[in-house]
A = this chain, B = another copy of it.
Amino acid sequence: MLLHLNPASGVPIYLQIENQVKHYVAAGALGPGDALPSVRKVAADMRINPNTVARAYQNLERDGILRSVPGGGTYVAENPGGLLKSEKIRRLRPYARQIAVEGTQLRLEPQEIVNLVEQELESLEVADERVGNSHR
């Protein structure tokens, strides 16, 4: 699992890790049960403090993406999806509103905004299939 970290980018390192792991999991490059490199391994490779990696892993565990066992390692969580659809939508709506407002502000046509979202979704799905997952 390759991580690209840029301490000077303005976005916190632990957030960069979170985002990239989320992306890998969403794209299927990391599947349920797969092991992640240890906090010390990542820390050594990236020359950062293990606690910074740990914080990212902990946040991802809070979000149900990962599962950490003390002494054992950190793994991608099994697919729960265990949330009411109404709750899922409630959580996603702020993102939808943001892209709608920002896109409208840029004077982009609604269709162009929707197309952009569809593009990104497809780029995830394509990567998912390429890794051998048949329409989860």
Residues of A within 8 A of B (CB): 19, 22-23, 25-26, 63, 65, 79, 81, 83, 85, 88-89, 91-93, 95-108, 110, 112-114, 116-125
Interface class of chain A by DSSP: helix
**Contact of A121 with B100 at beta-carbon distance under 8 Å, contacts A92-B113, A116-B89 already known:** yes
Specify which chain B residues have a CB less than 8 angstroms from the CB of A65 in the assembled complex: 105
Please give the count of copies of this chain that the complex contains. Answer: 2
Q: Are A107 and B92 in contact (CB under 8 A)?
A: no
Q: Are A26 and B105 in contact (CB under 8 A)?
A: yes
Specify which chain B residues have a CB less than 8 angstroms from the CB of A113 in the assembled complex: 92, 117, 121
Q: What 5 A-B pairs come out closest when comparing CB atoms?
A: A81-B107, A100-B120, A95-B99, A26-B104, A96-B116
Q: Are A110 and B121 in contact (CB under 8 A)?
A: yes
